[in-house]
Chain A
Amino acid sequence: MIEVKNISKTYGKKDNVFKALTDVSFTIPDGASVAILGKSGSGKSTLMHVMSGLDKPETGEIIIDGKNILTLKQKEVDKFRSNKMSFIFQSFFVQANESCYDNVSLPLEIANLSAKTRRKKIEVALEAVELMDKMKAKARELSGGQKQRLAVARAIVNSPRILFADEPTGNLDSVTGAVVEDLLFDYNKKNGVTLIVVTHDPDLASRCDMQINIKDGKIESIKGNK
C-alpha cells in the first residue's frame, strides 16, 4: 500500500515561487494499476518523482509498506528504489551503445547480484518482452517500440513491487504503443505489481483500476473503475 499524505512541493525562490503540488493526498492499494492524469505542467511528473523518492517535497509523507520514505537516509532510499521500484520513461533512456543484455543487466548490477544469477533473470525478462533474439544487439539498432520493450525488460528484471511509467507510449505509434501497454498491464495483473502510469492520454488511463486527475498541482478527482 502506498499512502500519499498532504504533499506540497514548490520550485524557485521568493518572487518566482511556483507551486508544483499543493496538499496532495491519496492511497493506492497493492497490486493496483493507477493512472496519474493531467495536462503538461499540471505537476503529474513531479508527483511521480516525489513518490519514488527522487525528489523531496517541503511537506507531507510518502508511506510505502509502513515506512515514510521521505525520512529515510539517501543510502536507504537508493536501496529501496533498487529493490522495490523501477521506471519506464517516455524517451526510453536505454543506453544506445550497450547491448540489450547489458542494458537489462544494469539494475541487477546496482542491486549487487552475481553475474551468474543475473544471467538467468535477464533471459527471463528479455523473453517476456520477446527480445531474446536481440540479446547481443546494440540498443541503437532497435526500433522505437523495441527500445521501449527493452526498457520494460530492464524495469521488470529485478521483480519490483512498484512500476512507474512516465508517458510510456508518448513516443510510440498506436500499434507499438498498444504492445507496450499490454506488456505493462499483463505484468501488473500476473505478478500483482503496483503500476503507476503518468499520462495525458485518457484511453491509456481508462485501462487502469484508478485514475487520479491532477490540475495545477491539486487533485481534481479520483475515480475507481471497480
Chain B
Amino acid sequence: MISGYWSGVLGMLAINIVVAYSVFVPAAAGLLNLGSAGFVLLGAYMAGAMTSLFGLPLAAALLLGSLTAGAVAFLISFPILRTRGIYMVLATFAFAEVVAGVLLNIPALGGAAGLSVMAYAGLPVLIPSAVAVVVAVAWLMRTRFGLSVRALHDDESVAGLFGVHLRLTQVMAFTVGGAIGGLGGGLLVHQFNFIDVQSTGALFSIYVLLYVLMGGTQTVWGPLFGATFFTLVPEAFRKLAEISPALKFLEAGRYMIFGIAVVLLMMLRPQGVITRTLVERLSGPAKPASSGRGSA
C-alpha cells in the first residue's frame, strides 16, 4: 500500500490537475484567469456545506459544488468578457477577492476560521476524478467546440468570419472552467477536511495560472505537465533536503525553483513546455501524406 506521505502527494497532484484544467479551458480560448481561487472556494464551501450541514452524500455534494461554481462563472462571464487583456486579468482577480470577501462574512460557513467537514475524499475519489476531468477536457477539445476555442485563440476575427461565435464560445469556455474549478474545490475541502479563505487566495490563483502557462495551453497535455511539475518538483527538493542538513536550504527554497522555471520559460519558450509541434513530433515520425487515418 502507498505510504501516508505519498498518498498525500498523489492526492494533492490529483487536485492540482483538476484545478489546472479549470484554468486551461478559458486560457485555450485566450482568457487568462487570475482568480481561479474564486471558483475553487465557491465549490469547496458549497460542497463542504452540503456534506456537513445537510448530510448529502459526497458525489451529490461535489456535483452541486461544481454546478454552483459553473453558474457563477456563467453569470460573471458577461461583465468580465467586456474587459480585455490586462483589465481582464485584474477583473478575474477582483472577482476572486470579492468571492473571498463574501464567504468570509457568512457565519454559517465559519467566517475567518474556515469550514471543517467530516466527509473524507481519499485517493479512490481523487484519482478517478482527475482522470475523468482529463478525459472530459481532451474530448471537449477534440470537438468542434474545442476547434472554436483554439481558433479564437489564434485569430478572433477570422474565426468569426467562419462562423465561430466569439462571445458564446468565450462564455462557454469560462463557464466550463468555473465548473471544473468548483469540482476541484469540492475535492480539496474533502481531502483536507477543511477550507478557509486565507489559504486559497491570491497566491493560489497565481500558482495555478503560472503552472498552467508553464505547461502550455496549446494542447490538452500542457496542464497535466504543469500540475505535475508544480506538485512533484518541490517535493523532490524537500526529500533531497532530508538527505543531509547541509541541503536544508533546498527545502526552504523549493518553490524558488518553480519561480525560476517560470521566468526562464517566459524568456526562452513562452508557449510553454508542451506545444502542438512537440506533441505532433512525439506522436510518431512524419507519416506519409494522405495515408488512411486522421492526423489531428
Do the two chains belong together in a single complex? no
List B residues at the A interface (Cβ < 8 Å). none
List A residues at the B interface (Cβ < 8 Å). none
